[in-house]
Structure formats: structure tokens, C-alpha cells
Amino acid sequence: MQISAQMVKELREKTNAGMLKCKEALVECNGDFEAAVDYLRKKGLASADKRSGRTTSQGLVIPLTTADKRTAAIVEVNCETDFVARNEDFGAFANKIANLVLKTPSVKTAEDLNKLTVDGQPFEEFVKSKIATTGENISVSRAEHMAFAAGQNGIFDTYIHGEGSIGVLVQVKTDSEAATQKPELVTYVHEVALQVAAMNPMALSSKDITQDVKTRELNIAIEKTKAELIGKSVNKALDKEKINPAHVDSEDHMKSNMEKGWITQEVVDKAREIIKTVSASAAANLDDKMIHSIAEGRLNKYFKENCLLDQSYVKDDKKSISDLTNEVSKAIGAKIELAAYRRWARGEAAAVETQHENSAEAAG
């Protein structure tokens, strides 16, 4: 199996783990990108944020609402260079597509745009004409129309960060039409949009996280807890023998530290034996009940960090977004519900496609 330098680079960008560890993870996981992320996380070498992959794709993410805030749209239009993305003509082109989505309820994905016409020409031809003008490849990677159903009350709000690098759309439902006119509600929805942009939640609440993800995260928490407990036992044993654990925590460190004269071959041999025997003994005597308790705590922390309603409010960390929602509901005298949100970062779709292509390439 061939693990390319690009695969290692992308895994490093996503996890911040070392290059050698990233290559090791990809080899161990047969090139499966997401499995390699989990492998590194179980070893405590990567963060939980699996959405931080970088990409060179440029373009704009544009969220829009109608004047009454009852209908909304969000699109991502991509090009090859930042120079084109910052061009006013490209901005007008992207906004025209966003407005097309805003007035077309049938658009739920970018593919739906190909059924439409713009200025009397098929949508695909409209895009091709812009490609001819700019000399760059241009595509619409994502598009979605959203609206309140008849009889529903509420408003949308939007936020654009970094000149179109991140676009946010937030939907809030209310139990009365009068509540939608309250300035406190308008301010609240905008504050939530800022929160979404800053904190990048994975889901609205823990109920919206699939059981597969919950099981995956619990298993990672269990394995990470086991590794930490075993590691503590090993470090304690090394300290007892006056061996600095940081000097022998990997074969690479052992080798480099011997070359520097910080440790001897005798110390390395002794450390390897301690690591082997103590690890085996500690693993055989782990308290499963305690491990599951710690892991459950970590899972709850995961929800608090990644679920919008559970997240701490960025402007007042003493309250959650759920607390803020209840406060505003009381202030305006109406029940409000944070119903949905979209947070699209420029290039995300391209990054996911690249990862899938790399995994398929490795499997082949």
C-alpha cells in the first residue's frame, strides 16, 4: 500500500500530530483517513475537532435572507485563486447565484441548480461563461434554500466572516408572529450566528448526534483513558528508577537523546523493559467501571463543546446557549426555539472530497 506525502500532510493539518505519527497512523489503518484520525486521538495525539482540515480552494460563502427574514439561502461558490475571489465581478456573480437560490424553494443541493436558467440560459452555461471570463475553473459546491412553512412563526439571521470565508445561517422559531418583531429576538438570533461562527458546533444538541458517532466517541474516550492510566503507571515506574519519562516516551526520542548524550544504551534497555512489563501489568488490572465513568464524563464534555445548545456562550461563559435562549424567551414573553443552523467554511466540501479520494486511492 502506498501512503502519499499529501495524505500525511492532510492528516497532520487536521490533527496537528507529528509527521511520523501521521504516517504511522495511515499505515496502521490501511490508508483510511478517518480511522487514522481516531487512531491518533486514542493515543492522545490529536484533538476532537475533525472539521479543521485545510484546503486551497478559494471562493465565497454567501448566506441571504428576504426582508421579512422568513426565507433564507446559503451558497458556496468556488474558484481557484484568492485574486478572483476578491474581485467585485466574481462577488456579483456569486451573489446572483445566492439570490437565485433564495427565490427557488426547490434548491436543496448544488445539483438542483442545474435544472434552472439564469438570464435565459441554462445554469451550467451561465457558470461556463464566467469560467471563460476569469480563466479559472468555477463551481458551486453547495447550495440550500430554507423557509418557514405556512403557519410557522420565526426569523432567520445571517453572518459572514472574513469576507466570505465563513457563512452562517440561523433559524429561530417562535410561538407568535408578534414575537418576531421584538428587537431582543433579532439581537438574540444574531448573537447565536456569531456563536456558531466562532465555536463551530457539530450539532444543535446531543439528540442530533447519531448513535454511531456517540459510540465512536465513547470508544475513543475509553481507549484514551486506558492509555492515560497505563501511561501514569509506566511513568511512576520510570520515575522510581530515576529515568525521565520524557526522554524515553518513543523510540525516536530514545535514539535522539542517546545521540545527545542525555541517556545511555543501558538506560534505554532498562526503560524498554519497564515500559513492556508495567504496561502489560497495568492493562491487565484496569478497573473497567472506573474507566467507563471517566469516559462518560469525557463524552459529556464532548457534547458540551460540540453541541450548540450546550456550548458556553462566548460572551458570558457562565451561561450556555440554552440558558441564553431561556432568558430571551422570558424577556419577550414568548416561547422561542433554536431550530436549525448552517455554518459553511470555504473549501470544506473540497477537503472532504479529497480525503475520500485519498482513502479510495489507498484502498485500491
Asked whether residue 88 falls in the same domain as residue 171, the answer is: yes
Torsion of Cα atoms, 307 then 313 then 319 then 322, to 10° = -40
Q: 177: buried, middle or exposed (CB in 10 Å: 19+, 13-18, 0-12)?
A: exposed
Q: What is the pLDDT of residue 13?
A: 80
What's the pLDDT score for residue 50?
Answer: 42
Residue 188 sits in the same domain as residue 63: yes
Which of the listed residues 171, 195, 219 is the one where a domain comes to its end? 195
Residue 55 phi, psi (nearest 5) = -150, 160
- Check whether residue 158 and residue 66 sit in a common domain: yes
Of 172, 195, 218, the position where a domain reaches its end is 195
The dihedral region occupied by 347, where left means phi > 0, alpha psi between -120 and 50, and beta the remainder, is left
The pLDDT value recorded for residue 184 is 97
Q: Are residues 69 and 98 in the same domain?
A: yes
Cα angle, residue 89 at apex, residues 83 and 93 outer, rounded to 5°: 110
User: How far, in Å, CA of 344 to CA of 77, rounded?
Assistant: 11
- Is the same domain home to 50 and 66? no
| Alpha carbons within 13 A on the beta-carbon side of 232 | 6
Residues 90 and 189 in one domain: yes
Please report which residue ranges of the chain form alpha helices under DSSP H.
5-15, 19-28, 33-42, 82-85, 88-102, 123-134, 183-199, 211-240, 251-259, 265-284, 288-306, 321-332, 348-363
335: left (phi over 0), alpha (psi -120 to 50) or beta: beta
- Which residue range forms the structural domain that includes residue 352? 1-55+347-364
Task: Give, as one character, the DSSP assignment of residue 53.
Answer: -
308 in Cβ contact with 337 (< 8 Å): no
Last residue of a domain, one of 138, 166, 195: 195
Q: Which three cell numbers stand for residue 113?
A: 441548480
Question: Tell me, what amino acid is at 64?
Answer: L
The pLDDT, as a whole number, for residue 135 is 87
∠ CA(51), CA(56), CA(62), 5° rounding? 70
Instruction: Give yes or no for a contact between 275 and 248, defined as CB atoms under 8 angstroms apart.
Output: yes
CA separation, residue 133 to residues 84, 137, 138 (Å) = 11, 10, 11
Angstrom distances, CA of residue 295 to CA of 108, 157, 211, 214: 38, 37, 16, 12
Tens digit of pLDDT for each residue in 82-134? Answer: 999 999 999 999 999 999 999 999 999 999 999 999 999 999 999 999 998 88
Q: Which residues pair with 341 in a beta bridge?
A: 170
CA dist 297 and 218 (Å) reads 10
**Residue 356 placed within a domain:** yes
In a domain, 290, yes or no: no
Number of domains present in the structure of the chain: 2
Is position 40 within any domain? Answer: yes
CATH code, 125: 3.30.479.20
Q: In the structure grid, which three cell numbers stand for residue 1, read together?
A: 500500500
Structural domain includes residue 299 = no
| Beta carbons of 198 and 168 less than 8 angstroms apart | no
Q: Are residues 67 and 183 in the same domain?
A: yes
Q: Is residue 287 part of a domain?
A: no
CA gap 219, 356 in Å, rounded:
23
CATH, residue 29: 1.10.8.10
Kindly state whether residue 27 falls inside one of the protein's structural domains: yes
Residues 48 and 153 in one domain: no
- Could you give the CA distance from residue 95 to residue 90 in angstroms, rounded to a whole number? 9
One-letter amino acid for residue 360 of the chain? A
pLDDT, one tens digit for every residue, the chain (364 residues): 688 988 988 888 888 788 888 888 999 899 999 888 888 888 877 765 543 333 337 999 999 999 999 999 999 999 999 999 999 999 999 999 999 999 999 999 999 999 999 999 999 999 999 998 888 899 999 999 999 999 999 999 999 998 899 999 999 999 999 999 999 999 999 999 999 999 999 999 999 999 999 999 999 999 999 999 999 999 999 999 999 999 999 999 999 999 999 999 999 999 999 999 999 999 999 999 999 999 999 999 999 999 999 999 999 999 999 999 999 999 999 999 999 999 999 988 766 554 444 444 444 4
**Is residue 19 located within the same domain as residue 97?**
no
Query: pTM, whole model, 2 decimals?
Result: 0.75
> Is 140 in contact with 76 (CB distance < 8 Å)?
yes
51 lies in the same domain as 114: no
